[in-house]
A and B are shown apart, each in its own frame.
Chain A
Amino acid sequence: MTTIQSIAGENEQHPDVALVERVRAGDVSAYDTLVRKYERQLFRIAQHITQNREDAEDVMQDAFLKAYEKLDQFQGNSKFYTWLVRIAVNESLMRLRKRRTGKMVSIDEDLETEEGSVPRDLADWAPDPEQNYNQAELAEILRKTIQGLPQGFRVVFALRDVEGLSTEETAETLGLSIPAVKSRLLRARLQLRERLTRYFRKKAGSKELAPAEARPAK
């Protein structure tokens, strides 16, 4: 007689949920695993929002500690990662508030700019334009460019396009409507594109050399 396996009842648990349950049962090493899994992302998100390295270090620690203390409140309605990101975003905003003592800080600041909404620089880019810069130069260009975005656009871009959260998750994390997320994302993408064109445009009169031929290997 064969045993009937119930496929419908199979509990496909996300590995994070299993880890959270182990932490709740008193296994701190399971939290160690969760921290290792997400520390780079939280650090990045904190940097994107606070624009300050020391603050990002503090925020990252505070976020993980707060998540640990509030672990009982994680219901599993959202992914653990999304829940964690929301804590990190809130810690980042609180840290920003402390720095600009007294002034209200929200992600809605400075959204009046029209820059980039209507593309103006229509120059095409060189093929593989990043190859025209070394690693350090490229990182600096990308950092400067994204740091020039208004906070409200930058955070949406960071969460959606860099960290890979869905539109719904981004909306939930930031307390925005879905149309608001979509509109900010488009503006962010267009503004970044506009600014990067300055660095990545095809040089006038340049021959169509493959990047490997154009520059000697470093």
Chain B
Amino acid sequence: MTCTEFLTLLDDMIDDSIAAETRAEVEKHMHKCGHCEVIFNTTRKTIEIYRSHEIYDLPNDLRNRLHAAIMARCKKGC
């Protein structure tokens, strides 16, 4: 497996939508290729960080204000 081939399988590895045989081949490549192992780990970490950190905060007072505005408009509409 080349590093280019590895890249095409990166998403499937991370999303765990990969056949067992192919997964074994990818892991074999990662053991031999430190660069690809780093790419795999840091890409996975990238996703994890974005999943676990709220970057667009909706503070409660704003949330309540928007919610009230939405419900007021809906009630008028019905």
The answer to whether A and B assemble together is yes
A47 to B35, CA, bound (A): 34
Whether, in the assembled complex, A21 has its beta carbon less than 8 Å from a beta carbon of chain B, the answer is no
A139 to B53, CA, bound (A): 7
Contact B77 A190 (CB under 8 A): no
Residues of A within 8 A of B42 (CB): 124-125, 193, 196-197, 200
What is the number of contacts between chain A and chain B, taking CB atoms within 8 Å? 105
State whether A146 and B10 are in contact (beta carbons under 8 Å apart), knowing that A35-B70, A61-B69, A68-B74 are contacts in the complex.
Answer: no
Residues of A within 8 A of B70 (CB): 35, 39, 60-61, 64-65
Residues of A within 8 A of B78 (CB): 26, 28
Residues of A within 8 A of B14 (CB): 189
Among B15-74, those with CB < 8 Å from A are 35, 38-39, 41-43, 45-47, 49-51, 53-58, 62-63, 66-67, 69-71, 73-74
Q: How many residues of B contact A (CB 8 A)?
A: 34
Give which listed residue, A68, A143, A162, A190, contacts B43 with CB less than 8 A: A190
Nearest chain B CB to A112 CB, angstrom units: 19
Contact A182 B53 (CB under 8 A): no
Give which listed residue, A44, A123, A197, A200, contacts B56 with CB less than 8 A: A44
A69 to B45, CA, bound (A): 41
Among A133-150, those with CB < 8 Å from B are 138-139, 142-143, 146
Contact B56 A161 (CB under 8 A): no
Nearest chain A CB to B39 CB, angstrom units: 5
A47 to B50, CA, bound (A): 14
Whether, in the assembled complex, A122 has its beta carbon less than 8 Å from a beta carbon of chain B, the answer is yes
Report 11 cross-chain contacts, Cβ distance below 8 Å, ordered by A residue.
Answer: A32-B71, A36-B67, A40-B63, A43-B58, A48-B56, A119-B39, A123-B38, A130-B53, A146-B50, A186-B10, A190-B43
Residues of A within 8 A of B (CB): 26, 28, 31-32, 35-36, 39-40, 43-44, 47-48, 56-57, 60-61, 64-65, 68-69, 119, 122-125, 129-130, 138-139, 142-143, 146, 157, 161-162, 182, 185-186, 189-190, 192-193, 196-197, 200
